[in-house]
Amino acid sequence: MPGLGRYICAVAVVGVLASTLWTPAAWGDDDGNVTCTDSGLCINVAKKSKRSTPPLKSRGSASRDRGADDQAEANERLSDARKKFSAAYAQYDRQLASYNRCMRTFDPSLSNTGCGNVPTPPTAPEFDSDTFSGRGNQPTITPGQAAAIAVARLQLPTIAPGIGPSPNLNPWDMAAVGYPLWLWADGATHVGPIADSVAGLSVSLEADVSSLTFRMGDGHTINCSGTGHLWTTAVEPGRKSPNCGYSYAKPSLPDDTYTVAAIANWAVTWTSNGQSGVINVPAVDTTELPVGELQVLVR
């Protein structure tokens, strides 16, 4: 092995020595630095300010070549940026799907760990249109991706669980077992229209609460279409909600309260660049509800 090593090394040394014997005159057809290709095309790759006419092409094509060079470079950068963004967006999309799944099945009475923070979307690549003229100057992200980023920026309001009649309206400060409670979305249920711009794409958004889910804290779940019905003192006592209500079978008192969670599904309609779609965004809020038993003494 040492003999082989000496031989290889000697060859390398000879190579280095031979290279020092090269003179500028030996470099291709041009007096500058050229790169030649399999087809025999040689192009000067010296600094652009000293660009000379490349061999095998007409003088008139020099500016076209410069444009082609710039475009190729722009396309490459654009392509790299798109790839990076696509990878980051795919990861964000997975995280968001996982977060949304958790939110939709979240029951505070079973788990107090929550679903963590809302994932943050990646920053969309922004390019100067002057740099990216021509073929490479296309939107760097899809309208759907732009919409998802705009929706993440929207910060939709949480919906508090509306429960009536309120426990505060009776002397015992509690809801009663067996009494029909009305449930509704307590808060704004419509947002928009809102205009945003992501990576040069205009996005228009409009959000509505499309459905409500209540986790009642006793293990039961109530799904309501729409936003439920507001209970008022005008409601006849003991009357049931027309579309979103619940009656507890067991008390939480005297030791505890029920943690009631309202999971609102925001349906965000987006429009961008001639395309449109709907993105569903869950939002959760909770309230504590003491539930006790009312006993009537009959003589």
C-alpha span between 269 and 279 (Å, rounded):
7
Residue 5 interacts with other proteins (CB under 8 A): yes or no = yes
Residue 15 interacts with other proteins (CB under 8 A): yes or no = yes
| Shorter beta-carbon distance to other proteins: residue 13 or 249 | 13
Counting every residue written for the chain, the total comes to 299
- CA 171 to chain centroid, in Å, comes to 48
Residue 74 interacts with other proteins (CB under 8 A): yes or no = no
On the question of a cis peptide bond just before residue 157, with omega within 30 degrees of 0, the verdict is no
Residue 110 interacts with other proteins (CB under 8 A): yes or no = no
**Pairing relationship of beta strands 42-44 and 160-164 according to DSSP bridges:** unpaired
CB of 125 to other proteins, least distance (A): 14
Q: What is the DSSP letter of 25?
A: G
Residue 86 interacts with other proteins (CB under 8 A): yes or no = no
* Beta bridge pairs of residue 181: 246
In this chain, which of 31, 53, 76, 123 binds other proteins, going by CB under 8 A?
76
| Shorter beta-carbon distance to other proteins: residue 132 or 246 | 132
Binding segment for other proteins (CB under 8 A), chosen from 5-13, 169-177, 216-224, 274-282, is: 5-13
| Shorter beta-carbon distance to other proteins: residue 8 or 249 | 8
Give the interface size with other proteins as a residue count (CB under 8 A).
38
In this chain, which of 62, 69, 118, 271 binds other proteins, going by CB under 8 A?
69
Q: Residue 290 — left, alpha, or beta (φ > 0 → left; ψ -120 to 50 → alpha)?
A: beta
Residue 12 interacts with other proteins (CB under 8 A): yes or no = yes
C-alpha span between 73 and 88 (Å, rounded):
23
CB of 136 to other proteins, least distance (A): 10
The set of residues, in sequence order, having a beta carbon less than 8 Å from that of 71 and lying 6+ positions away, is 134, 135, 136
What tokens appear for 18 in the block?
């031979």
What tokens appear for 151 in the block?
């929706």
What tokens appear for 33 in the block?
């630095």
- DSSP E strands in 131-256: the ranges are 160-164, 175-176, 181-186, 190-198, 201-215, 221-225, 245-246
| Shorter beta-carbon distance to other proteins: residue 70 or 206 | 70
Binding segment for other proteins (CB under 8 A), chosen from 42-50, 140-148, 151-159, 190-198, is: 42-50
| Shorter beta-carbon distance to other proteins: residue 44 or 213 | 44
Question: Between residue 19 and residue 38, which ones bind other proteins under the rule CB under 8 A?
Answer: 19, 22, 26-29, 33-38
Q: Enumerate binding residues for other proteins (CB under 8 A).
A: 5, 8-9, 11-16, 18-19, 22, 26-29, 33-43, 45, 56, 65, 68-69, 72-73, 75-76, 79-80
